[in-house]
Structures are given as C-alpha cells and as structure tokens.
Structure 1
C-alpha cells in the first residue's frame, strides 16, 4: 500500500478502548451519536487529527495525531469517555469501586496506546485497524463494515476498494 499521507509534526498514536465486560454497545445509534459529539467537542478544545478509526460492537481502534509538543491523549480520552457515559447513562449497575472514582459502567477503566514509530509501524496498524471487523468475523470483506475510516481512505486512494476481501485471502488478519 502506497499513497499514505502523514503530517510531519506531532506524534501518532494507536489506541484500543473496550467496553466494560465487552458489552456490545458501541455500534448502537445512540452510542455512535454520543461518541461523535464527544469527539467533536474535545477536538475543538484539544485538537487532534484522526487518521483512522474503526468502531466494533465492544471495542474501538483508532490512530490519532496530536499537535507538536502535545502528548496529552489521556485528558482527551477521559473527557470523551465521560461525555459518552453521561449521554447514555450506565448500561448496568456500577461497582462500588467505580462509583467512588465517579466512573460509569460503559468503558473499561484503562485503554491501550502505542506510539507509532515509523512508516512500517503506521501501515501495520492501519491494516490491523481496518481489518479488525473481518478478523472478528463480523463481515466477509472489509468494505462491508460501515463504521470504519476504510471507506474514506478508499475515496482518497489510500486503499483499493477490494482490499481485505476475506480473512483467508492473505492471512494478515490472523492472531
């Protein structure tokens, strides 16, 4: 895959966030709307660029680029998670330990982040992210999954429309 466009300043990060007890809530229309609104609100106050995104029922992956000299992704995620939780309310009773910390029951407490090291690392994470719905057996081809930046990147010429035809095609989505 060629034709990647990246800005030269600011660090790139790959993130994975998971719902509490892997509840399949994130592709619900209300949750998607709340997530979009929270992201827009945070981006106005704490800018960042979204290079890639995939939303699955119980987790999400994304690649963000933060402004130069800014690596405070924790604040951004904290606000986003809090806003989404407030918009939706707790999906289940909240444990006492979460109540004390004023945490809702939507998200797992932590998230995973990885700083992208170079172009090869970037491509690997882009492919992993976009191939994730196929890897989890949610679709027969990457293009079938509606909640992904894959479609935008096809329009921009980054991916061919038939990329990731099936999990058996080339094995890149295996464990």
Structure 2
C-alpha cells in the first residue's frame, strides 16, 4: 500500500473531482452534497473559508482545528456519504477491490496555504472558477459559491471579477 505524505498545517486548498469529467452529478445532487458536507463538518469540525461547487468538481479552502491536519478522513466521509445510494457505471476490478463505486477520482489535490497572500490567491481562484470554465459570464451569477458570503460580509463587491461579455478575445490555459 502506498503511503502518501500529506501536508501538515491548518489551512488547505483542495480540488476534488468526479471520475466522469462530463458529469453534472454535483450540481444535480447539490442538496445531497450539502447535507453530507454539513454532517461531516459537525462530526469532524472544520471551517470552510471558501468553496465553489461545479458540475464535475469542487474547490475548497478549509481551516482545520489546531493540531488536526486530518483532512483525508473528512474527504473520505464526504465522498463516501455522497456516493452511497447513487448509481454509477460498472466499476473496474481495481475499484471493486478498494470498495469504490467509481463516482470520484481516487485522489484529490491539496495544497497547504503558506500565508495571507497565498490564501487570497486561492480564494480568488475558487470564486472565479465558474467563469474560467465558461459556466457564467460573471462570478455573481454562479450560486454554488462562497462568493456570495464574501459579498454579504462586505469583503468583496458584487461586481468583483467583472463581466466576461465585456472582454473581447479568447484566452486559453
């Protein structure tokens, strides 16, 4: 069994992705995801600094309690709870051996936030992600994002990120 070295610290950025990148499962079952997420958060406390749910993946920044960097078990509970009861295509032998349904990619990206500038950049990335993926022209038009909480608190203006319809040209990654 592989032993992956996990980042240690208190605040982390995550990207968690569905196996099928063409899927809309996360937004189709957003109430289920919210319920499971909230249940795990109550059982294993953490603060959601920023989050954005897209059709096939999500980005989040979490702050964990002091002396607790066990985000892996929290994601395991969220992914497992969300998957339980959902239909997926036939799993491979490898997935069967690991008791996986094939809804989520096995791994996820995590990054330990280094400082306030790093945190700000990752929160901005999260909030702008629906525009980046062409789902909306303005950040404020994507409802499944903590951006709206930032606007309500006065941290960001409603027009943050601008309107892509006002920008000519095409930009790739």
TM-score, length basis structure 2: 0.87
Partner of 2:104: 107
- Give the Cα separation in 2 of the matches to 1:124 and 1:79: 28
- Give the Cα separation in 2 of the matches to 1:138 and 1:43: 28
Partner of 1:79: 77
- Displaced runs of 4 or more, over 6 A: none
- Give the Cα separation in 1 of the matches to 2:97 and 2:18: 19
1:38 deviates by 1.2
Partner of 1:51: 49
Aligned length: 160
- Give the 3 Å change call, closer, same or farther, for CA 174–12 of structure 1 in structure 2: farther
Partner of 1:21: 20
Q: 1:92 aligns with which of 83, 86, 89?
A: 89
Is 2:112 aligned against 1:151?
Answer: no
- When the two chains are superposed, the root-mean-square deviation of aligned CA atoms in Å is 1.6
Q: 1:134 touches 1:166 (CA, 8 Å); kept in 2?
A: no
What stretches of structure 1 of length at least 5 have no aligned partner?
Answer: 1-9
- Give the 3 Å change call, closer, same or farther, for CA 148–164 of structure 1 in structure 2: same
Partner of 1:164: 161
What stretches of structure 2 of length at least 5 have no aligned partner?
Answer: 1-8
1:54 deviates by 0.3
- Give the Cα separation in 1 of the matches to 2:156 and 2:103: 33
1:94 deviates by 1.3
Partner of 1:11: 10
Q: 1:129 aligns with which of 123, 126, 131?
A: 126
TM-score, length basis structure 1: 0.86
